[in-house]
């Protein structure tokens, strides 16, 4: 399971490579909240 999340996160992060730092942080925060919500 952790490997799948890691792979998805890697893919997601790669797609954000060319976006501004602020947008990346915002997106990462949203992703993190989404995963926390799914786990709990």
pLDDT tens figures, 1-40: 678 878 777 777 766 665 677 777 888 888 888 888 887 6
The separation between the first and the last C-alpha atoms of the chain, rounded to the nearest angstrom, is 15
* Domain carrying residue 25: 2-39
Let me know: does 16 contact 23? Beta carbons within 8 Å: yes
CA 28 to each of CA 12, 16, 40: distance values in angstroms, whole numbers, following the listed order: 9, 9, 18
Here the tokens at position 36 are: 């926390």
CA angle 14, 23, 30 (to 5 degrees): 85
Query: How many domains does the structure of the chain reveal?
Result: 1
What pLDDT shows up at residue 18? Answer: 59
- The residue with tokens 């893919």 is 11
């Amino acid at each position: 399971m952790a490997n799948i999340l890691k792979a998805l996160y890697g893919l997601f992060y790669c797609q954000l490579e060319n976006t501004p730092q602020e947008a990346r942080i915002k997106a990462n925060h949203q992703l993190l909240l989404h995963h926390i919500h799914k786990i709990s």
